[in-house]
Amino acid sequence: MFQEYDVIVVGAGHAGCEAAHAAAKMGSSVLLCTMNMNTIAQMSCNPAIGGVAKGQIVREIDALGGMTGIISDKSMIQFRMLNRSKGPAMWSPRSQNDRMRFAEEWRLALEGTPKVDFWQEMVTGLLVKDKRVIGVKTGIGIEIKAKSVVLTNGTFLNGLIHIGEKQFGGGRTGEAAAKGITEQLVELGFEAGRMKTGTPPRVDGRSLDYSKMEEQFGDENPEKFSYSDETSTLKKQRSCWITYTNKEVHETLETGFDRSPMFNGRIQGLGPRYCPSIEDKINRFAERDRHQIFVEPEGWNTVEIYVNGFSTSLPEDVQQKAIQKIAGFENCKMFRPGYAIEYDFFPPTQLKLTLETQLVDNLYFAGQINGTTGYEEAACQGLVAGINAARKVQEKEPFLLKRSDAYIGVLIDDLINKGTEEPYRMFTSRAEFRLLLRQDNADIRLTQLGHDIGLASDQRLEKMLEKKNETAKLINDLKQKKLDPETINTGLEEQGTAAIKEKITIEKLLKRPQLGLENIKTLDADINTYLSKYPKEVLEQAEIQVKYNSYIEKEQQMVEKLINMENYKIPDAFDYIKIPALSAEGKQKLHKIRPETLGQASRISGVSPADLSILTVYLGR
């Protein structure tokens, strides 16, 4: 009935979609297995993509040739660049999306990708022979052979939904949990754990009073995620709204705490620290009288509203009473209550940097199965797992991203070397080279790599090289072109910066914190004409490189030191147990994680600097 596939992807969420698309684009035959073809790329939580550090990840996925950025652009209803008041390392793109269109665009993209086949059914087990995966088994007993398998099960592995004292099996509301895979993996020697996440009620926008809320507009000149010409920026946008909880809301919520699965011990899994439920917020931050609520439309034409900030698993009657005490929600009608979901995950220290498991060859894990939270974190893991599954089948070198290459590299390195005991979310603070890993230069950093592996198109590469060359030419010109005091001093004083006594290059002038290229354009008509020839992204790139040049150079020097350690390979069969001078914890962690390089060993939690020195000596021998 079925051919033998190069790659089978189990699960069609954000990780599964990227894995299937990438592997097929690179020439592998792919079967995407999902329990429901109508929920491919479902936005299970909020209808938004990007945000702080997450937006950088989406740009990186796009630069490599992945699809999340393009799908986001095609389904976007609002765009905002967050943190514009801070330095460029912190600028983070974020979009509000039409939930139905996002899923539709992903399905159309996958159906339009040659070599992707689909199968709608639950996968209940793996076919494993001699510690190598050779296919999957489905609920009705069909066995499908494959050279590699990528598991992207999301919250479906033994998923358990909680609403107050009610609990029932499910991977998402209205969808069944996946049974059998966890138990088989544990039998094979994998360590499993439990995590939880939650979602807020969805409400009827027609029943809200927006006059009592603060309107949140999109950017005046919206950008987009994808560097390609396949998408365009928004011409119109939908607003979001902001309101707040109050003491009365909190008191009403507290009446349900005795029936809360979070407080009465029904939920065992750890929830996301940075996206807590509303009951968790009022319990942990009892001194606060109010918490912000973001009122987010679910699409262009639907009346459904996502109540961001009100995630809860309290009984539905308590949810209804409490939500109606929020300003603007007095007559709120609920479409469905919020709930918490508990699910199985596998500590990611059991993986290699390719996201292949250490215990079973050609088996890859991506997304929430690895303990992460968020569409973007899942999507980038799916991309890397799909790339590596395809490359292994094709007998090519693994595809690895270093911490200095991308936020994706930071995320995977953190997971493999440090593990996680709570849902892992990416932040800019996790990246030590964040001035190099900006959202504006992801194409310059990664498109060549994406092109080399057959994922990013020739057109993508040409576009990136043109931007890079134009930026270099502009920076060179800024170092040469000089401005005259008589021409620009009046303008400088109007901009709140000191006048000059002699001619000065534009580059030196640009280093002043008060001035950007847009300000400098106003100082001289000829310079304005010259700079206006360049596209916005080239001007922005040149300005950042000039202003932050000394800081960028320092980070580059740090990267070079790190690369020296990354180049120091550790043999596969190296026996850490036989090194008596290593600390007990160091031996245990090194033996378990089996780092591939000295650099990776240095980042393992529990491996001390002394352990590293001893290891260096032994490797030298």
Q: Which amino acid is at 210?
A: Y
Give the pLDDT score at 272.
72
| Residue 620: other Cβ atoms inside 10 A | 7
Q: Which residues are annotated as a binding site for FAD?
A: 11-16
State the binding site.
11-16, 271-285
pTM: 0.93
Residue-wise pLDDT for 223-248, tens only, equals: 999 999 999 999 999 999 999 999 99
> 122: Cβ–Cβ under 8 A, 6 or more apart, which residues?
35, 138, 139, 176, 178, 179
**Which tokens hold the place of 212?**
């009592």
Residue 563: predicted pLDDT: 80
Residues at the annotated binding site for NAD(+)?
Answer: 271-285
Q: Quick one: pLDDT at residue 275?
A: 74
Position with higher pLDDT, 206 vs 172: 206
Burial of 16 from C-beta contacts in 10 A (0-12 / 13-18 / 19+): buried
Segment 307-353, tens digit of pLDDT: 999 999 999 999 999 999 999 999 999 999 999 999 999 999 999 99
pLDDT of res. 75 = 98
Residue 261 confidence (pLDDT) above 90: no
- Quickly state the pLDDT bin for 371 (edges 50, 70, 90): very high
Q: What is the mean pLDDT of residues 294-302?
A: 98
pLDDT of residue 265: 72
Name the one residue in this structure whose structure tokens are 């919520």. Answer: 253
What residues are paired with 341 via a beta bridge?
Answer: 161, 197
Residue type (1 letter), 40? I
Question: What's the confidence (pLDDT) of residue 470?
Answer: 97
| pLDDT tens digits along 422-433 | 899 999 988 989
Token pair listed for 307 = 């109540």
pLDDT in tens, 497-527: 998 889 999 999 999 988 999 999 998 899 8
Structure tokens at 357: 């498991």
Q: Pairing relation of β-strands 132-138 and 363-365?
A: unpaired
Q: How far is CA 404 from CA 269, 383, 408, 564, in A?
A: 33, 18, 10, 12
> How far from chain centre, in Å, is Cα 367?
10
Of 493, 500, 495, which Cα lies nearest the Cα of 514?
495
Q: How confident is the model at residue 568 (pLDDT cuts 50, 70, 90)?
A: confident
Taking alpha carbons only, the member of 225, 237, 233 closest to residue 70 is 225
Which letter does DSSP use for residue 469 in this model?
A: H
Q: What is the mean pLDDT of the chain?
A: 94
Would the pLDDT of 621 be above 80?
no
Q: Please report the pLDDT score of residue 274 as a whole number.
A: 66
Task: Extract the tokens encoding 76.
Answer: 């976007």
